[in-house]
A and B are shown apart, each in its own frame.
Chain A
Amino acid sequence: MHMADALISPAVGGVFWAASALLTIRCSSVLKRSDGEDKTAMMGVLSAFVFAAQMINFSIPGTGSSGHIGGALLLSVFLGPRRAFLSMVSILTVQALFFADGGLLALGCNVFNMGFFPCFIAYPLIYKPITERIGGRRGVFAGSVLASVAGLEMGAFCVVAEMLASGMTSLPAGLFFSLMMGIHLAIGAVEGMVTAMIIAYVMANAPDELPDAGAGFGARALFFFALMTVLLGSVAAWYASADPDGLEWSIDKIKDVPGLLLHKTGLHSFLYSLQQKVSFFPDYSFKDAGVPGRLGTSVSGVLGSFCALLCAAASGKILKHRKRRAK
């Protein structure tokens, strides 16, 4: 899944360089404050282990092909997400500098695709909850396979998006997405199984070596995401395309088809008029035509994000309450 410099544009490479650099600086400063050097050697040696283990290609039964472990999830289990992320940065840097696997400009993309998703999304949000809930070897297997598949699929999606945004390939987007997502589904499942077998081996033979690595997100990270949400909703939304989305475009093309009635039948017209009455920001702008369009976009973006947060929090509360009652 390594991207090469030849496959991306400087704009895409620059954006992902900035994102990965911010994450790296953040992880480094947190680790610098948190402890001393007791895990530095372990980070180095485990990174070298992952590097070496990636060279062990195992045959996948019934397919005639082979695969190897990814490493980010395994590192997250043993080192925690931040150290695992930094280890992945070093592995990908060495691969780019020594073995021409990746590239200098593409390093940001590769770190984001293969480091961020498994370390900060798949491990804390999929692997940990599943292993804690199910427990034992079954939990490790379920968590590893699902987290590996999710991490790889997210990475593969990002690879395709980055390449299409760079405009270096003539492959149709649909075909490219389906090819990449399809193949990485199988690879992720096998990688997850092998990762689970390694963790299970350590669990059986040296359970003390499996640390409780801690959560990936703290209060500051939540603040960062909240800030990003406000910025995206209020400012970045101004630059959103004014063209219709895929569904609107399709409807627009077929609305004049004879026999197709839009908002004309009883229930449809009732719901349509109801929507017109209750929507405060039709098409993400104020109803009052005198208010500037950008102000409407910003207010609707921020308010919409806040409403989504409230809905998610309320759902979480309800589920927690129901769980308590069930106990």
Chain B
Amino acid sequence: MKLKGLQKTRIYTEGPGYIFSPAALVVITLIYVVFVASFDKYQVLRLVPLAAYPVFLAASADVRPGAVLRKIAAASPVVLLIAVWNPLFDASRCEILGLSVSCGWLSFASVVFKFALTVSATLLMIAAAGFDKVCGALRALGLPDVLVTQLFLLNRYIRLLLDETHNAVRARLFRGGRITVANAGYICGPLLMRSIDRSRRIRFALACRGYNGSLCHENKELLSLCDKLFVIFWTVFFIAVRFQDFICASWRAILRCLG
């Protein structure tokens, strides 16, 4: 991902808060990802009903679909590069809804669709709940304090250091030079030393404010009744989609209606 692309994180601007708790969102998103990944590589049509969850999240959290789609497109080349070999090496054919299709293309579509579903659910979880609240939920769910503090600090300083890095790279390019292996050390080295200096100042500042090893103090009840119902509803829906082929059943019903 390009440097300037990283700074476009507008969809993560902290909002007024989501109707369900971050812990409920984390739990249900994890369950969702496992259910999506559990489908066979040829079961592309059976994945379609699972798109309901990210659509619901985007609508209820008021996130613009364009912003999520741009992020998915930016991260997709690696998955496309791996999935594109499937049609070349898998020439067998199978029948779907009465049509004979190439299994390779089916598995390609399945991988790409799974990628879109899992990535959109993850991004929307952060967009809906906010990173800090997700970190608080992770801590409440048992993630070690050291790691949660680390995630907090990393989130705080990424943008700061990205700005510095951006300036260093721009200065180099404006002087007419290119960044090569030979001079990469002279760009990254000073950046590293400035980062170490900054970490020292932060350490003193934290110590002055009575830092006791944890930056997260949220200790609210994990899941309310409403959150539990939210998790149960979506889990039942995922189980139903996993064990029942709604698309085929609908297709058969349509054919029956048409006579």
Q: What residues of chain A have their CB less than 8 Å away from a CB belonging to chain B?
A: 2, 4-10, 13, 24-25, 27-29, 31-32, 36-38, 40-49, 51-53, 55-61, 67, 69, 74, 78, 86-87, 89-91, 93-94, 96-101, 103-105, 163, 167-172, 190, 193-194, 196-198, 200-202, 205-206, 209
A38, B202: Cα distance in complex, Å: 10
Chain B residues, Cβ within 8 Å of A53: 165, 188, 191-192
Q: Mark B87-123, 1 if CB is under 8 A from A, else 0.
A: 0111000000000000010010001111100110011
Interchain nearest-CB distance for A117 vs B (Å): 19
Known: A5-B115, A53-B165, A104-B118. A206 touches B144 (CB 8 A): no
The answer to whether B154 touches A105 (Cβ under 8 A) is: no
| Candidates B9, B86, B131, B147; contact of A170 at CB < 8 Å | B86
Interchain nearest-CB distance for A210 vs B (Å): 10
The answer to whether B111 touches A197 (Cβ under 8 A) is: no
Which range holds the interface residue count of chain B?
A: 35 or more
The answer to whether B181 touches A56 (Cβ under 8 A) is: no
The answer to whether A44 touches B157 (Cβ under 8 A) is: yes
Q: B189-206: which residues lie under 8 A (CB-CB) from chain A? A: 189-193, 195-196, 198-200, 202-203, 206
How many residue pairs link A and B with beta carbons under 8 A? The number is 271
The answer to whether A52 touches B9 (Cβ under 8 A) is: no
Chain A residues, Cβ within 8 Å of B119: 4-5, 100, 103
The answer to whether A87 touches B161 (Cβ under 8 A) is: no
Looking at B85, B114, B154, B180, the one whose CB has the most chain A CB atoms below 10 A away is B154
Known: A24-B144, A25-B144. A90 touches B192 (CB 8 A): no
Question: Residue of A at shortest CB range from B204?
Answer: A41
Chain B residues, Cβ within 8 Å of A198: 184-185, 188-189, 192
Q: What residues of chain B have their CB less than 8 Å away from a CB belonging to chain A?
A: 1-3, 6, 9, 12, 29-30, 33-34, 36-38, 41, 71-72, 74-75, 78-79, 82-83, 85-86, 88-90, 104, 107, 111-115, 118-119, 122-123, 125-126, 131, 134, 144-147, 149-158, 160-162, 164-165, 169, 178-193, 195-196, 198-200, 202-203, 206-207, 211-213
The answer to whether A103 touches B161 (Cβ under 8 A) is: no
Question: Residue of A at shortest CB range from B194?
Answer: A49
Question: Residue of B at shortest CB range from A94?
Answer: B154
- 25 A–B contact pairs at CB < 8 A? A4-B118, A6-B114, A6-B118, A8-B37, A9-B37, A10-B38, A13-B34, A37-B206, A40-B203, A40-B213, A44-B152, A44-B154, A45-B157, A46-B196, A48-B156, A48-B161, A52-B161, A52-B162, A61-B182, A69-B188, A100-B119, A101-B75, A167-B41, A198-B184, A200-B185
| Candidates A31, A91, A97; contact of B134 at CB < 8 Å | A97
| Candidates B36, B185, B212; contact of A201 at CB < 8 Å | B185
The answer to whether B181 touches A41 (Cβ under 8 A) is: no
Known: A41-B206, A52-B162, A55-B165. A93 touches B2 (CB 8 A): no
Looking at A6, A7, A48, A97, the one whose CB has the most chain B CB atoms below 10 A away is A6
Chain A residues, Cβ within 8 Å of B30: 104-105
Known: A6-B37, A97-B122. A40 touches B146 (CB 8 A): yes
Inter-chain pairs besides A6-B115, A45-B195, A100-B123, 13 sampled, C-beta below 8 Å = A4-B118, A4-B119, A13-B34, A37-B206, A41-B202, A41-B203, A48-B161, A49-B195, A51-B154, A53-B191, A69-B188, A94-B151, A100-B71
Closest 3 CB pairs of A and B: A44-B153, A197-B185, A201-B189
